[in-house]
Each structure stands twice: as C-alpha cells, then as structure tokens.
C-alpha cells in the first residue's frame, strides 16, 4: 500500500512542479533556471519541516517521498547546471553553489521551525 501512496503523492508533486515551472518561465525571462531553483529550495524547506514534525510512516510516505519527491528535481537541476556551464562557467558555479547553500539553509530552517511546534 505504501508504494501506491508514494506514487499518488509523486503524481501530485510532479503536477505542482509542472505548474510552478510554467508560471516561473512566464514571469522570469532569463537563462537562469529560476523555477527549478525555487522548486528545489522550497522543497528542501518543506522536507526539513516535515521531517522535524516526525509524522507517521504513512504520512511521510505520501508527503515526503511522494509529493515532495515528485515536486523537487535533482535531475533537472543537474541538467540546467550543465547547460549553463556550456555557455558561461561562472553562472554554472553560482547556480550550483547557491542551490546547495540555500537549500541546506532552507532545510535547516524547516527543521528548526518544526521543532518549535
């Protein structure tokens, strides 16, 4: 049953990611992958928050593994970093560096906020 919940959650997360990507691409006309950056940072924050709240295994499966797993995207992040690097090396380094540093901070903030509850 867990695999069904994870798959259902992943479908929902992927649909949300698609919508956010479409909106981000419409709002920000830039080579910098703003939508993917936003998705991965908010996903890191939400996963940290969820983790700190220590939900039941079933809730974590649908929300963490499922929805947030489908929402965030490591493969797109890596692909966009390589594409930026083909054009300008500095942009690639900035994108990867900011994504990792801000992602870690967002996750830590989520964990901290969850522990305050």
Give the annotated binding-site residues: 69, 72
Q: b or e along 16-55 (b: 16 or more beta carbons within 10 Å of the residue's beta carbon)?
A: bbeebbeebeeeeeeeebebbbebbbbbbbbbbbbebbee
The binding site for Na(+) consists of 69, 72
């Amino acid at each position: 049953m867990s695999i069904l919940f994870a798959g259902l959650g992943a479908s929902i997360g992927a649909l949300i990611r698609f919508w956010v990507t479409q909106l981000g691409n419409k709002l920000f006309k830039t080579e910098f992958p703003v939508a993917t950056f936003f998705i991965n940072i908010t996903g890191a924050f939400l996963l940290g928050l969820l983790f700190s709240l220590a939900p039941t295994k079933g809730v974590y499966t649908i929300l963490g593994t499922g929805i947030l797993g489908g929402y965030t995207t490591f493969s797109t992040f890596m692909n966009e970093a390589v594409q930026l690097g083909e054009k300008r090396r500095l942009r690639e380094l900035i994108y990867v560096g900011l994504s990792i540093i801000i992602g870690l901070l967002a996750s830590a903030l989520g964990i901290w906020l969850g522990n305050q509850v």
